[in-house]
Amino acid sequence: MNQTTTTISDRMREVLGHFCSGITVITAQGEAGPIGFTCQSFTSLSLEPALVSFSPARSSTTWPKIREIGVFAVNVLADDHVDTSSAFARSGTDKFAGVEWVPGPNGSPILDGVLAWAECRLWAEYDGGDHTIVAAEVTDLHATPSKDPLLYYRGRYHLALPHGGLGNH
């Protein structure tokens, strides 16, 4: 890649795409029904208090609605959720069409078959350039250890392969 004709943003996308991440869908129960969006930038933030963080794009039309609700779920997608990830990444469609879910303890949609979920309450927001950095307090959570994650690496979905534990390089 010729660095003189590409922008730092283009180079960041290329270089930082080498960092593998999981995929989440952030969901909430709105007055008109469930809402949600796909979010790749998710991480654990703090154990005391129990906080997680994710970063929706400032161009998101769904995040402002979820922000207003104030409680939501972070659904960590399993390896069989490629279609779910793609559906929730689209704008202007019924993202929940054909998607099975149950309400979490605070009413947020927990998607069927996810690897893990955390129900949260908005804690704080920070400026993150073209994204908003969201800190959220975890109010409940659950994992399904028998599932494997859906991964995103270099602009494509990938599946995890069993490694066999620490020490096996």
Answer whether the bond into residue 49 is a cis peptide, omega within 30°: yes
Low-confidence ranges of the chain (pLDDT < 70): 1-4, 163-169
At position 42, the amino acid (one-letter code) is: F
φ and ψ at 135, to 5 degrees?
-105, 130
The confidence score (pLDDT) of residue 169 equals: 42
21-30 per-position pLDDT tens digit = 899 999 999 9
The confidence score (pLDDT) of residue 162 equals: 72
- Token pair in block for residue 124: 């704080």
The confidence score (pLDDT) of residue 155 equals: 86
- Token pair in block for residue 96: 């929940």
According to DSSP, the residues that pair with 29 across neighbouring strands are 34
Round to whole Å and give the CA distance between 95 and 161: 29
Name the residue among 161, 27, 33 with its Cα closest to residue 87. 27
The confidence score (pLDDT) of residue 123 equals: 98
- Token pair in block for residue 103: 């309400």
The confidence score (pLDDT) of residue 122 equals: 98
pTM of the complete model: 0.89
How far is the CA of 69 from the CAs of 15, 56, 121, 149, in angstroms?
Answer: 36, 16, 9, 28
CB 112 within 8 A of CB 100: yes
128-161 per-position pLDDT tens digit = 999 999 999 999 999 999 999 999 988 888 888 7
The confidence score (pLDDT) of residue 1 equals: 47
